[in-house]
């Protein structure tokens, strides 16, 4: 059985094994594939099994790949795949629903702690000689913020949101949340409130909701105006949740004290993104998910998805 992985470098730059996938057949692995239907079709060739992450698999590709019978998305999001066309061709599309829960929640808190303690900044200026030149035994360029008794508002209390909530509670924070789905587990971790109550009552707002027509551009000038002065915003969910110019304006005016972002609306980032020049904005390059442990978990789940498909009992199918 022939298999193709179109864009595997971010998953495996060389530090994990793909043996779990290779056991099923001949795997052709590409680090990257351009979003060019002609090149994509050439690389798929006569393969039956396709693995991809961000390469767009269009209707044209799906209907012109002669032997294709399975698409495995190596991520949770599957918006790069024309799932309706795949359904018409009776090609199941599977995703990886929960491989990064622990690390993404951890990373959200890492962004928050970096904002509150500025460890990276102070390490850098110490190495630049500022402490050597200092007349005092200590100094700080940013105020240190204690999180105990502060309120964190989590928009989207799913698996990742709950992980963030648990860590926040362990630090003594009050947790409030708004979520499309509410359950007893969530209620034990957070107080469910309306979006307006969350916006106005939070010292920190963390975004953990999916990108939908309703959440696209959720953080904008109107919703920011409802927030506390000096609020901190954390987003390592989806970049399109934020109207970036509005957030940049709020950072520059001081309405938003700081933002910690691991995602932006267009990735890789463009040089004219307004957040690059905004004050008090930490930006990391979409790496919340990238711990080796979570990438190994992703491969394990992808192998299980394929095994179940071959056994006639597909799981994690997004286009039933």
Catalytic residue set: 238, 267, 286
Q: Tell me how many degrees the CA angle 278-283-289 measures, rounded to the nearest 5.
A: 160
**By C-alpha distance, which of 104, 118, 105 is closest to 257?**
118
E strands present in the chain: 2-5, 26-29, 49-52, 70-73, 93-94, 151-155, 174-178, 191-192, 204-207, 231-235, 256-261, 281-283
Residue 164 CA to residue 259 CA, distance in Å, equals: 16
Q: What residues contact residue 169 under an 8 Å CB cut-off, 6+ apart?
A: 175, 189
Q: Which residues contact 128 (CB under 8 A, 6 or more apart)?
A: none
CB atoms within 10 A of CB 12: 19
Residue of 190, 191, 238, 235 whose CA lies nearest to 214: 238
The CB-side HSE value for 290 (13 A sphere, CA atoms) comes to: 14
> Positive or negative, the Cα torsion across 100, 208, 70, 4?
negative
Query: Tokens at residue 313, please?
Result: 């009992």
d(CA 105, CA 89): 37
* Apex 24 CA angle, 56 and 73, nearest 5: 20
- H or E element in which residue 201 lies: helix 195-201
């Amino acid at each position: 059985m022939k298999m193709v992985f179109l864009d595997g470098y971010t998953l495996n730059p060389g530090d994990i094994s793909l043996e779990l996938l290779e056991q099923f057949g001949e795997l052709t692995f590409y680090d990257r594939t351009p979003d060019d239907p002609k090149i994509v079709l050439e690389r798929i060739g006569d393969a039956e099994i396709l693995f991809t992450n961000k390469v767009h698999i269009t209707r044209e590709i799906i209907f012109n790949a002669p032997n294709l019978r399975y698409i495995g998305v190596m991520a949770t999001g599957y918006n790069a795949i024309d799932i309706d066309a795949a359904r018409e061709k009776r090609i199941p599309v599977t995703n990886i629903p929960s491989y990064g829960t622990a690390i993404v929640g951890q990373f959200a808190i890492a962004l928050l702690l970096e904002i509150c303690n500025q460890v990276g900044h102070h390490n850098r200026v110490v190495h630049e000689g500022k402490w050597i030149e200092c007349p005092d035994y200590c100094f700080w360029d940013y105020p240190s913020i204690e999180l105990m008794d502060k309120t964190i508002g989590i928009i989207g209390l799913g698996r990742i949101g709950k992980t963030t909530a648990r860590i926040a509670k362990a630090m003594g924070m009050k947790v409030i949340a708004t979520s499309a789905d509410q359950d007893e587990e969530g209620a034990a971790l957070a107080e469910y409130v309306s979006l307006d109550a969350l916006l106005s009552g939070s010292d920190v707002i963390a975004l953990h909701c999916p990108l939908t027509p309703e959440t696209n551009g959720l953080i904008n000038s109107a919703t920011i105006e409802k927030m506390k002065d000096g609020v901190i915003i954390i987003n390592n969910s989806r970049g399109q949740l934020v109207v970036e110019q509005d957030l940049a304006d709020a950072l520059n005016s001081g309405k938003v004290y700081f933002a910690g972002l691991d995602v932006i609306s267009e990735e890789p980032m463009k040089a004219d993104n307004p957040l690059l020049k905004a004050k008090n904005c930490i930006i990391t390059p979409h790496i919340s998910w990238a711990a080796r442990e979570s990438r190994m978990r992703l491969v394990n789940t992808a192998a299980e998805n394929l095994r179940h498909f071959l056994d006639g009992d597909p799981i994690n199918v997004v286009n039933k």
